[in-house]
Amino acid sequence: MSESEQHVIEVKDLVKRFGDLTVLNGINVKIPRGKITVIMGGSGCGKTTLLRHLIALHQPTSGAILVDGTNIVGLNEKDMNAVRRKFGMLFQGSALFNSMTVGENVAVPLKEHTDLSPEIIRIIVRVKLELVGLTGFEDFMPHQISGGMKKRVALARAIALDPKIVFYDEPGAGLDPITASMIDRLILDLSKKLNITSVVVSHEMKSAFRIADQIIILHKGKVLQIGTAEEVKNSKDSYVQQFIQGESEGVIPFKQTSEAYLKGLLST
Amino acid sequence: MKEFAGKTGQSTFFILAGVARLWNLGAAVAGYTLSSFFKKKVIPKEALFRQMVLIGIDSTAIVSLVGASVGTVLALQAAYSLKTFGALMYTGSLVCVAMARELGPLIASIVISGRIGARMAAEIGTMMVQEEVDALTTMGINPIRYLVVPRVLALALMLPCLTVIVDIVGMVGGWAIGTTGLGINSTLYIAKSIEALCLKDIYTGLLKSFIFSILIALVSCHQGLSVSGGADAVGKATTQAVVISIVLIIVVDCLATAVIYYALPT
């Protein structure tokens, strides 16, 4: 199998600066086809920024992002939209259109990108909602359903056009543990049933170990570790261990010593 | 002095940058509108009709109320001055010409910028905050085409219609007060009004309201699209949308009046 057949996305030396602040500092990762990759890291480590680069919502300062061998950096809108047809994206806050019903939300990409008749679109919408376990909710408005249901509607919308790759931004954030694990089940199911490549940004270890084929840990804008769940669990890196255990004291201290605080103040 | 020069330069830069961004947005909207003649599915029709109902039908009552009040006040104030010259019967002429040329388009635009402009900025601003605009982009749907184009077109179609309503209601208001309160003969009032009013008064008024509609929609959508952050930013964008729209309407009105009635041949 050739390189681009094995890996659907390849990120090469990705650097992103906002003014003086370097958020991503030379990221090199490969996303394997048909697998679930979880990008992890503490708050502010650049994981959401990396995700937004992958779907071209941000342009990098330097570096390349290859999707199926096509470099999407600096691509014009028309070509980029052709690449985006392969994508589905589940946003952290679901990002459903509040003025539309659940069914209309799922139908948006179908209406915009296909010439299907309204009857066929209605059937596809029903099928997609069934896939996420929400049969019969077509006529509800987004504000009438719960947070977990909104996430599932957003997922149904993300897979409306049968994408090859689905991106998830913190799929379990703000949900109770049972609903969060249901979303994890859905991610696994979709990945297996529809052979979708999934890229999940998360900071929840439990969920990551449950679903991930590959885990990427970011720290301070760099890749700290790439490996399977098992490899990450057995990592010798002290930051990775602190992260997995969820301890407040470790390499990253909860409280700084007065010398460290002074040093930090003077260095900025 | 140096600080003053710096601030002036900075403000000028911001204003010019804003004008450039508005121009770009306008050009993009014009591009999509033109291409809709050759391609299918450029303008989301459902959204267009929804906006037209919201702007046109739902605003008729408020716009009529304000229009009637302005017509009435205008007749009362004009009569007060005209009486001293013994020209009370010209009240009708004054009300009709003023409504058609200036007050109709101006009143309709200002009411709509408060009612619809604010709504557009808040709606799109909230969509920005809740990542709905990003969701559109990742679906390969251009937010300008999907959100801005239907709003601009709906307002451009409906504001001239609302202006006609304001014109008529204002004139009727003037007539009502003229014939009852001021005691002018009804036939004379109407005859003097028709005599004074010419076609140019009406179509220049409509042309102005068309220009104002584009300004309101572009400014409001642009303010909405520039929101980043949270509720605070949405609030700021909404206020800015109304303030900038009204200031631009009045400035452009001055320019348009000068060009139409003084620079162009009559």
Strand order across the beta sheet in which A197-201 lies: A87-90, A165-169, A197-201, A36-40, A214-219, A222-227
Question: Which residues, in sequence order, are CB contacts of B105 under 8 Å at separation 6+?
Answer: B163, B166, B205, B206, B208, B209, B212, B253
Task: State both tokens at B109.
Answer: 């635009």
Per-residue buried b or exposed e for A13-34, using 16+ beta carbons within 10 Å of the residue's own CB: ebebeeeeebbbbebebbbebb
Residue A231 backbone dihedrals phi, psi, to 5 degrees: -60, -40
Task: State both tokens at B164.
Answer: 């006609």
Task: State both tokens at A86.
Answer: 């392969």
C-alpha A111 chain-centroid distance: 25
Would you report the helix, strand and coil content of chain A in percent, each value rounded to 5?
A: 40, 25, 35
Q: Is B1 on the interface with A (CB under 8 A)?
A: no
B230 min Cα distance to partner chain A (Å):
13
Question: What pLDDT shows up at residue B174?
Answer: 93
Q: Which residue is associated with the tokens 């019969």?
A: A136
Which three-class secondary structure state does DSSP give residue A64?
strand
Q: Residue A249 pLDDT more than 90?
A: no
- All residues of chain B having their beta carbon less than 8 Å from the beta carbon of residue A95 are 130-132, 134-135
Q: Residue A24 pLDDT more than 60?
A: yes
Q: Residue A268 pLDDT more than 60?
A: no
Q: CB pairs below 8 Å between A and B: how many?
A: 47
- All residues of chain B having their beta carbon less than 8 Å from the beta carbon of residue A97 are 127, 132, 135
Contact A185, A219 (CB under 8 A): no
- The answer to whether the CB atoms of A97 and B132 lie below 8 A apart is yes
Q: Residue A236 pLDDT more than 70?
A: yes
- All residues of chain B having their beta carbon less than 8 Å from the beta carbon of residue A92 are 131
Task: State both tokens at B166.
Answer: 């304001």
pLDDT tens readout for residues A185-208 = 989 988 888 889 999 998 888 888
Task: State both tokens at A222.
Answer: 């760099």
Which residue in chain B is spatially nearest to A51 when comparing CA positions? Answer: B138
Q: Count of CB atoms within 10 A of residue A173's CB?
A: 15
C-alpha A265 chain-centroid distance: 35
pLDDT tens string, chain B, 266 residues long: the values are 788 888 888 888 888 998 899 999 999 999 999 999 998 888 998 899 999 999 999 999 999 999 999 999 999 999 888 888 888 888 999 999 999 999 999 999 999 999 999 999 999 999 999 999 999 999 999 999 999 999 999 999 999 999 999 999 999 999 999 999 888 889 999 998 999 988 889 999 999 999 999 999 999 999 999 999 889 999 999 999 999 999 999 999 999 999 988 887 76
Cα–Cα dist B243/A58, whole Å = 31
Contact B101, B205 (CB under 8 A): yes
Q: What angle do CA A176, A177, A180 make, to 5 degrees?
A: 85
Q: Residue A244 pLDDT more than 90?
A: no
B37 min Cα distance to partner chain A (Å):
17
How many C-alpha atoms does A41 have within 13 Å on its Cβ side?
25
- pLDDT mean over A86-101: 91
**Which of A80, A93, A99 faces B131 most closely, judged by CB atoms?**
A93
- The answer to whether the CB atoms of A108 and B139 lie below 8 A apart is yes
Question: What pLDDT shows up at residue A261?
Answer: 76
- All residues of chain A having their beta carbon less than 8 Å from the beta carbon of residue B137 are 57
**Which of B123, B132, B138 faces A84 most closely, judged by CB atoms?**
B138
- The answer to whether the CB atoms of B131 and A108 lie below 8 A apart is no
Strands A7-18 and A21-32 come out as: antiparallel
Cα–Cα dist B184/B179, whole Å = 5
SS (H, E, C) B83-146: HHCCCHHHHHHHHHHHHHHHHHHHHHHHHHHHHHHHHHHHHHHHHHHCCHHHHHHHCCCCHHHH
- The answer to whether the CB atoms of B134 and A57 lie below 8 A apart is yes
Question: What pLDDT shows up at residue B89?
Answer: 85
Contact B115, B51 (CB under 8 A): no
Residue B231 backbone dihedrals phi, psi, to 5 degrees: -55, -40
Contact A72, A63 (CB under 8 A): no
SS (H, E, C) A135-181: CCCCCCCHHHCCHHHHHHHHHHHHCCCCCCEEEEECCCCCCCHHHHH
A14 min Cα distance to partner chain B (Å):
20
Question: What pLDDT shows up at residue A106?
Answer: 95
- pLDDT mean over A227-237: 87
Question: What pLDDT shows up at residue A251?
Answer: 61
What one-character-per-residue DSSP string does B175-220 give?
HHHHHHTS---HHHHHHHHHHH--HHHHHHHHHHHHHHHHHHHHHH
Beta bridge partners of A24: A16
Question: Which residues, in sequence order, are CB contacts of A237 under 8 Å at separation 6+?
Answer: A224, A225
Q: Residue A138 pLDDT more than 60?
A: yes
Residue B112 backbone dihedrals phi, psi, to 5 degrees: -70, -35
Cα–Cα dist A208/A225, whole Å = 14
- The answer to whether the CB atoms of B139 and A57 lie below 8 A apart is no
- pLDDT mean over A210-215: 92
Burial class (CB in 10 A: 0-12, 13-18, 19+), B225: buried
Which three-class secondary structure state does DSSP give residue A159?
coil
Is the model's pTM score more than 0.80?
yes
- The answer to whether the CB atoms of B140 and A113 lie below 8 A apart is yes
**Which of B126, B138, B141 faces A87 most closely, judged by CB atoms?**
B138
Q: Is B141 on the interface with A (CB under 8 A)?
A: yes
With residue A116 as reference, give the H or E element that holds it.
none
Which residue in chain A is spatially nearest to B131 when comparing CA positions? Answer: A95
Q: Mutating which of A91, A100, A121, A166 best tests the B interface, going by the most B Cβ atoms within 10 A?
A: A91
- All residues of chain A having their beta carbon less than 8 Å from the beta carbon of residue B127 are 97
Question: What pLDDT shows up at residue B266?
Answer: 64
Q: Mutating which of A83, A108, A121, A150 best tests the B interface, going by the most B Cβ atoms within 10 A?
A: A108
Helices B149-180 and B186-196 cross at an angle (nearest 10°) of 140
Q: Which residues of A touch chain B, with CB atoms under 8 Å apart?
A: 55, 57, 77, 80-82, 84-85, 87, 89, 91-93, 95-99, 108-109, 112-113
Cα–Cα dist B191/B202, whole Å = 17
Q: Residue A3 pLDDT more than 70?
A: no
With residue B149 as reference, give the H or E element that holds it.
helix B149-180
Q: Residue A255 pLDDT more than 70?
A: no
